[in-house]
C-alpha cells in the first residue's frame, strides 16, 4: 500500500484542479477517476474563460496534461472503499475496484453528480445536445430563438424560476409544467417576463428540422429551437454517505455534501469540491472552488507537519 498526502476521488474539473493546486504545493497526490464526468454528454463546454467551446473530453485532456511536472499519480479506476485508520490523526485506506490501495492523510471527494431528467420520452436521447439544463452554459448559443423550459413534475417552483431566468436569452420562451398547475403569483411573474405557459402533460420530445417538437397529450406539437430542463441532482457515488458525511436534503445545494467555508466535510480529513458540494457550479466554478479547497487542505497538512515537528524537536 503506497502512502500519499491526498487521494482525490473524481477527475473532472474539480478533481483535476485540486490535483494541480496540491501538486504545485509539492504534495504527493493520487487522483482516481472512472471516466464518467457529469458533463460527458455535452457537445461543448461554454462560459469557461480562455477556452473556446472545447468538448468535455478535450478540456479534460488538456487539464490532465498540465499535471505531468508534479507528484500527481493519475489512476483510471473506481474507488470502492475509504476506511478511516485510527492512529491519532486523520488517515485513510483507499481501495479501488482493480485492487489498488493507498494510504492518505486527506481525501477529496470530487465525484460530482448525476442528473435525474424529466420522465418524458426523447429527453434523454437529446440530452447534452438540443436538451440542456443551464442557460448560463448554453443560452448564448440559442439566443433570440424559440425556447422551451420543461419543468420536472412535482417541482413547479423550480420550473418557474428557470423559465424566468431563461427569458433573458429570448423573448419567445414557453414554460411546460408537464401537468402541474401554477398559482396566481407565479403566473403574474411569468407574464411580466413575457414567458408563456403550457400546463398539459408532455407526451414526448421528437427531433424536428428546426429543433425539437414537444408533443402534448392531445397530439399538438410545438416546435422549439432548444429545450431547457429542470433536473434533480444525486451524488454519483455513495462514498460520502458511507463515510458519514452530512448530506444536504433541501435548499439551493440539495443533493450536495455539506461543507464548511473552506470545503471540509463533517468528517475530519475528508473534503468535498466542485459540484459534489455545490450542484449549481458551472465547470469553471467547480475548478475555482476546488483550488480554494486544495489551498485549505495544504494549510491543514502543513499545520499537522509543524505540530509533529514541534513534538519531536529535541
pLDDT score, position 41: 84
User: Where do the domains of the chain lie?
Assistant: 2-114+233-312, 118-229
What local confidence, expressed as pLDDT, does residue 22 receive?
A: 98
pLDDT of residue 49 exceeding 80, the answer is yes
pLDDT digits (tens, 9 = 90+) for 206-233: 998 889 999 999 999 999 999 999 998 8
Residues 6+ apart with CB under 8 A from 202: 118, 120, 150, 176, 178, 214, 215, 216, 217
pLDDT at res. 266:
97
CATH top-level class of 2-114+233-312:
alpha beta
Fold match flag (2-114+233-312 vs 118-229): yes
- The whole model's pTM is what? 0.92
CA atoms within 13 A on the CB side of 134: 15
Please write the tens of the pLDDT for every residue from 120-155.
999 999 999 999 999 999 999 999 999 999 999 998
> Taking 70 as the threshold, does the pLDDT of residue 1 lie above it?
no
Which stretch, 34-43, 79-88, 123-132, 189-198, has highest mean pLDDT? 189-198
Residue 2: predicted pLDDT: 75
Whether the Cβ atoms of residue 149 and residue 173 lie closer than 8 Å to each other: yes
Asked whether residue 42 carries a pLDDT value surpassing 90, the answer given is: no
Give per-residue pLDDT as tens, 237-247. Answer: 999 999 999 99
Is the predicted pLDDT of residue 55 greater than 70, yes or no? yes
* HEC assignment per residue over the chain: CEEEEEEEECCCHHHHHHHHHHHHCCCCEEEEECCCCCCCCCCCCCCCCCCCCCCHHHHHHHHHHCCCCCCEEEEECCEEEEEECCCCCCCEEEEECCCCEEEEEEEEECCCEEEECCCCCCCCCCECCCEECCHHHHCHHHCCCCEEEECCCCCHHHHHHHHHHHCCCCCCEEEECCCCCCCHHHHHHHHHCCEEEECCCEEEEEEECCEEEEEECCCCEEEECEEEECCEEEECCCHHHHHCCCECCCCCCCCCECCCCCCECCCCCEEECHHHCCCCCCHHHHHHHHHHHHHHHHHHHHHHHHHHHHHHCC
pLDDT band at 174 (very low <50, low <70, confident <90, very high): very high
Does 256 score more than 70 pLDDT?
yes
* Whether the predicted pLDDT of 314 surpasses 70: yes
Q: Quick one: average pLDDT of 9-37?
A: 96
Range 86-91 average pLDDT: 76
CATH numeric code, 118-229? 3.50.50.60
As a whole number, the mean pLDDT across the chain is 94
pLDDT at 87 over 80: no
Amino acid at each position: 500500500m503506497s502512502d500519499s498526502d491526498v487521494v482525490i476521488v473524481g477527475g473532472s474539473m474539480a478533481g483535476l484542479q485540486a490535483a494541480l493546486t496540491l501538486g504545485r504545493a509539492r504534495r504527493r497526490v493520487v487522483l482516481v477517476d472512472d471516466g464518467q464526468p457529469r458533463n460527458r454528454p455535452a457537445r461543448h463546454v461554454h462560459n469557461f474563460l480562455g477556452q473556446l467551446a472545447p468538448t468535455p473530453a478535450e478540456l479534460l485532456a488538456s487539464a490532465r496534461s498540465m499535471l505531468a511536472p508534479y507528484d500527481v499519480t493519475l489512476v483510471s479506476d473506481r474507488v470502492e472503499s475509504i476506511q478511516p485508520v485510527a492512529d491519532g490523526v486523520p488517515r485513510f485506506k483507499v481501495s479501488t475496484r482493480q485492487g489498488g490501495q493507498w494510504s492518505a492523510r486527506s481525501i477529496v471527494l470530487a465525484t460530482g453528480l448525476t442528473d435525474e431528467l424529466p420522465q418524458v420520452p426523447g429527453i434523454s436521447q437529446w440530452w447534452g445536445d438540443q436538451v440542456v439544463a443551464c442557460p448560463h452554459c448554453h443560452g448564448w448559443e440559442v439566443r433570440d430563438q424559440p425556447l422551451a423550459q420543461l419543468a420536472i413534475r412535482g417541482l413547479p417552483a423550480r420550473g418557474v424560476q428557470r423559465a424566468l431566468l431563461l427569458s433573458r436569452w429570448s423573448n419567445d420562451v414557453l414554460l411546460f409544467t408537464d401537468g402541474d398547475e401554477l398559482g396566481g403569483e407565479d403566473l403574474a411573474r411569468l407574464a411580466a417576463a413575457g414567458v408563456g405557459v403550457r400546463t398539459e402533460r408532455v407526451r414526448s420530445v421528437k427531433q424536428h428540422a428546426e429543433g425539437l417538437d414537444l408533443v402534448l397529450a392531445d397530439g399538438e406539437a410545438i416546435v422549439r429551437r432548444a429545450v431547457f430542463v429542470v433536473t434533480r441532482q444525486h451524488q454519483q457515488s455513495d462514498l460520502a454517505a458511507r463515510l458519514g458525511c452530512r448530506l444536504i436534503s433541501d435548499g439551493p445545494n440539495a443533493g450536495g455534501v455539506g461543507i464548511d467555508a473552506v470545503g471540509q466535510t463533517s468528517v475530519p480529513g475528508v473534503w468535498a469540491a466542485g459540484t459534489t458540494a455545490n450542484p449549481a457550479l458551472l465547470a469553471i466554478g467547480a475548478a475555482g472552488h476546488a483550488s480554494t479547497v486544495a489551498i485549505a487542505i495544504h494549510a491543514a497538512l502543513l499545520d499537522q507537519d509543524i505540530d509533529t515537528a514541534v513534538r519531536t524537536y529535541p
